């Protein structure tokens, strides 16, 4: 069984908005909610909690990111940010962690 890793940066998180859970909204790869954008990416190569943590740590360093949740079992990484993120910057962060960004989930 794989543990989910979530890193939240609370000093920049808005006071209200989406919970960030995978069951919120319509299931679209990118959703907007009062000052927040939730984007779900597909990442190849995650197999364990260490992988989840490495990816979450790298993506959380991007400007505007307030929450990252990576799930190795599905390969999905849910990112909540203050504005849409540059996909190239997300790709670079995932590459830095040692994994491959496939695209939007």
Question: pLDDT, tens digit, for every residue of 13-27?
Answer: 333 333 334 333 334
CA–CA distance, 97 with 32 (Å, rounded to integer): 27
Q: What was the pLDDT predicted at 30?
A: 75
Q: Which fold has domain 5-11+25-104?
A: Alpha-Beta Plaits (3.30.70)
16, 21, 34 from 24: Cα distances, Å: 14, 6, 14
- Look at residue 27 in the predicted model and tell me its pLDDT: 45
Quick check: pTM over 0.85?
A: no
């Amino acid at each position: 069984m794989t543990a989910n890793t979530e890193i939240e940066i609370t000093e920049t998180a808005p006071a209200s908005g989406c919970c960030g859970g995978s069951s919120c909204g319509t299931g679209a790869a990118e959703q907007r909610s009062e000052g927040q954008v939730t984007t779900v990416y597909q990442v190849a190569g995650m197999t364990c909690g260490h992988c989840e943590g490495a990816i979450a740590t790298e993506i959380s360093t991007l400007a505007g990111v307030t929450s990252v949740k990576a799930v190795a079992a599905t390969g999905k990484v849910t990112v909540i940010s203050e504005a849409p993120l540059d996909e190239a910057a997300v790709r670079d962060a995932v590459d830095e962690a040692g994994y491959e960004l496939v695209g939007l989930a």
